[in-house]
Amino acid sequence: MLDSITSRLQPVAQELFAAWSRLPRHGGVPPRDSFDPMSIARILPVVSLIERFSDEEWRMRVVGTEIERRWGRSLTGLDYRQITSPAAAAATLREFAAVCAQPCGSWAMRHLKLESGRRVDAETLRLPLRARDGSVSLILSCSGELSGRFQEDSDRRREVITLIEQQFLDIGAGIPATPCVLSAT
């Protein structure tokens, strides 16, 4: 399954996956301290680090400048539920929990709605990292629009409205039995 997903990755996700794959592992998951952001300097503007504070609270710890420019506001520090529709939040929180609990990676396609009326599909890749306390409670993520068009201006109040497709990546501990998308939306 890993090969079928990695062969679909777009260049940004390929670069993040390659950098993450080179990191030393403890229990199958690299420690955050082993990750040097400068190893992916070219794609840092579309990379974020998400941290679990509780089962229902996942905060955007660090958000790349291009992601914030696209959304037209600062996302750093926000609870993920503040930037998604309720349906998308439920699926995404299941995805985050699975990535950290299994642990595993996750690849997804999301449909986004922007204030301008523009709708785009975006690819996300999420990979687990260990926090300093040894818990798997951090997720390294990248996001790339697949519209093929570069937008010079930001689109305010961007919203994830649906999760189109999601697959887990087996990084050595298997994959969860329960999908993130429980039914078609």
Least-confidence region, from 84-88, 106-110, 131-135, 163-167: 84-88
pLDDT at 114: 67
pLDDT at 32: 97
Q: What is the pLDDT of residues 37-88, one digit of tens each?
A: 999 999 999 999 999 999 889 999 999 998 888 778 899 999 999 887 787 7
Q: Where are the domains of the chain?
A: 2-35+47-169
Q: Is the pLDDT of residue 152 over 80?
A: no
Assign domain 2-35+47-169 to its CATH architecture.
2-Layer Sandwich (3.30)
The single-letter code of the amino acid at 35 is F
pTM listed for this prediction: 0.88
- Return the half-sphere exposure (C-beta side, CA atoms, 13 A cut-off) of residue 114: 16
Supply the Cα-derived Rg of the chain in whole angstroms: 15
DSSP-derived letter for residue 26 is B
Long-range contacts of 26-34, Cβ-Cβ distance < 8 Å, separation of 24 or more: 26/130, 26/134, 27/130, 28/103, 28/171, 28/172, 28/173, 29/103, 29/128, 29/129, 29/130, 29/136, 29/171, 30/129, 30/130, 31/129, 31/130, 31/132, 32/129, 32/130, 32/131, 32/132, 32/138, 33/132
Calculate mean pLDDT across residues 12-25.
Answer: 96
